[in-house]
Amino acid sequence: MSIRIRSLADGELRAWSQAVYTAFGGESRDDDFASFERIAEPDRILAAVDGEVIVGGGGAFTYRLTVPGGEIGAAGVTAVGILPTHRRQGALTQLMQAQLDDVARRGEPVAILWASEGSIYQRFGYGLAAVEARLEVPRARSAFRLAIEPEGATRMVTRAMAAQQFPAVYEAIRAVTPGFFDRSSAWWDVEVLDDPEHHRRGAGPKRFLLYEVGGQVEGYLIYRTAGDWEKRALEVRELMATSPRATRGLWRFCFGHDLITTIRAGFQPVDHPLLLLAAEPRHLELKVGDALWLRILDVAGVLSGRSYAASDRLVMEIADSFRPQTAGRWALDTTGDVPHVERTDEPADIALDINDLACLYLGAFSAGDLARAGRTTEATDGAWARLDALFHTDRKPWCPQVF
C-alpha cells in the first residue's frame, strides 16, 4: 500500500480541502475556502498522501463539550474523506489510528463527530451519544393544545445585532445541555450567521429574530422561507430559548407565520417540548436519527469529568478492539465528594464495549436500552439498575449543529 498519513505541511490547506471536497462529491469554492480558513486548525489536520499527492485526510476542531454536570475537552472530528480512487486500501483505518493518537496526546479524553455513515465509525470505537429529531408540520395542523398568550415580544434584528445578542443565549443553554459545544466568534460568523446565496438551495435569506421579556433577551430564532406562494415552507435553522415562555413564544411565531404551508426544523432535541405543547403531536411528523457520535480515549478522564445521580461503586469490564490500551477493568466510585476512577483487578459488575459506554455517557441511552439490544452483560445481579441510577440525567443530550 502506497498511502501514508502525515501532518499537513505549510501551503497545503487548499489542496487538502479540494481532495476532501472531491471525496464527498463536491467542489471547494474560493469563497467557501476563505471562510473555512477562518476556523480551520491546520495543526489538527492530517493528510492521506500517495507519494506526495494528497488523496484525502481529516481534521478536527478544539471544543469544550458539555457533559452532565460540567464540560470536558473534545476533538470535533470533521472533513474525513478519501478519494474514490484510493478507497478500500486501508487509508481510513490508518487515518483513524493517527488521529485518535493525536487526540490522546493532546490530553482530550474524547473525540466527537457527525457521521456520514454510522457503520464506518463504530468500527473505530465511536458510540451513538446523542440523537436528533426532525419535524415537518403542516401549518393547518399546527394548533397548540392550549392557547399561548404572548408573554414577551418578538422583533426582527440585523445580522450585527444577532452577533451581539445570540451568543449569550446559546451559552446559557450550553451550560446545562449535554452535547453542546462552545462557539468562537469566528465560528458564529462563518457557521451560524453567514449566509452565502449558494448555500440557500433556492430558499430565501436567513432572518434573525429576538424574543424579549421586559427588555431582557430570553431566546432567538434563525429561519428562512422556501418555495412559491402556493407551497411555502418556514425552515427553522436554529431556535434557542432560555425559558419555557420563550420556547412557547418562538414556536408560536413559527406556527403563526402568514403565507406558510409547512414548518420544518432539523437538529432538534429528541425530548421536544412540542410533543406536549401541540394539539396533535402526530402531525409534527417527528423523525429521529443519529446525531453526535463519541469516542472515549481516556476512561478515567471521561468518567471523572461528569456528575452522577447516585452514590455507588461499580466495576466495569470495558472491551476496546481498536485501541486495546483503553480496555480493561475500571472501578467508578461516586461515594466521595468527587468521582474517582481507577483500573482494578476486582471482579466486574458489568461488561460492555467502549462504544456502549459512549452511548451511556451523555444520557442518550440507558443500561436497560443496551441490555434489550444485547449489547451488555450483567455479571452482578442488579448492576444494570445501579448503572442507570448513576448515569441518570434530567434531560436528553442535544447537539444542535453539524460541524
Catalytic machinery residues: 121, 403
For the record, the C-alpha cell of 37 comes out as 480558513
For the record, the C-alpha cell of 291 comes out as 446525531
Using CB atoms within 10 A of its CB, is residue 166 exposed (0-12), middle (13-18) or buried (19+)?
Answer: buried
For the record, the C-alpha cell of 227 comes out as 418555495
**Integer angstrom CA distances of residue 368 from 359, 365, 396, 397:** 12, 8, 16, 17
Q: What is the DSSP letter of 44?
A: G
User: Are 300 and 341 a contacting pair, CB within 8 Å?
Assistant: yes
User: Are 7 and 44 a contacting pair, CB within 8 Å?
Assistant: no
- CA-CA distance, 320 to 64, in Å (whole number)? 24
Residue 213 CB coordination number (10 Å): 16
- CA-CA distance, 87 to 55, in Å (whole number)? 10
Q: How many CA atoms lie within 13 A of 330 on its CB side?
A: 24
Of 100, 39, 111, 48, the residue nearest 76 (C-alpha): 111
- CA-CA distance, 35 to 194, in Å (whole number)? 9
Of 313, 300, 304, 266, the residue nearest 285 (C-alpha): 266
**Integer angstrom CA distances of residue 71 from 126, 233, 259, 397:** 19, 37, 42, 13
Q: Which amino acid is at 221?
A: L
Residue 148 CB coordination number (10 Å): 15
